[in-house]
Amino acid sequence: DVKVTQSSRYLVKRTGEKVFLECVQDMDHENMFWYRQDPGLGLRLIYFSYDVKMKEKGDIPEGYSVSREKKERFSLILESASTNQTSMYLCASRRPLAGGETQYFGPGTRLLVL
């Protein structure tokens, strides 16, 4: 079974803090993704990574950065957390076969910025 784990289920941070969200997958997948999920807005792609040290902006990258130094780990960084970054953050991974393959999601991190 594919397993995608996220470092925290719940986080509470203060405005201006630097926040690290970690995602680890154990299936040697090349592609990894970070989304945020907000009521009424669905999932929106923040960043994705084709492979190690490769990254590409998604639809809402402002205020975020990412790091992929090892294949199994994809980190999302909030450089200076703001209240509008309070959200559910979901990580996913997949193998990029021709025609596409399913994404496997982690359990999510619910972040509250005060």
Partner 1 sequence: KQEVTQIPAALSVPEGENLVLNCSFTDSAIYNLQWFRQDPGKGLTSLLLIQSSQREQTSGRLNASLDKSSGRSTLYIAASQPGDSATYLCAVNNFNKFYFGSGTKLNVKP
Binding site for partner 1 (CB under 8 A): 4, 31, 33, 35, 40-45, 48, 50, 58-59, 90, 92, 96, 99-108, 110
Q: How far is the CB of 49 from partner 1 (least distance, A)?
A: 11
Residue whose CB is less far from partner 1, 28 or 101: 101
The encoded tokens of residue 16 equal 């201006």
Q: How far is the CB of 4 from partner 1 (least distance, A)?
A: 8
Give 51's Cβ-side CA count (13 Å radius). 1
Residue environment code for 3-28, b if the CB has 16+ CB neighbours within 10 A, otherwise e: ebebeeeebebeeeeebebbbbbeee
Q: How far is the CB of 65 from partner 1 (least distance, A)?
A: 19
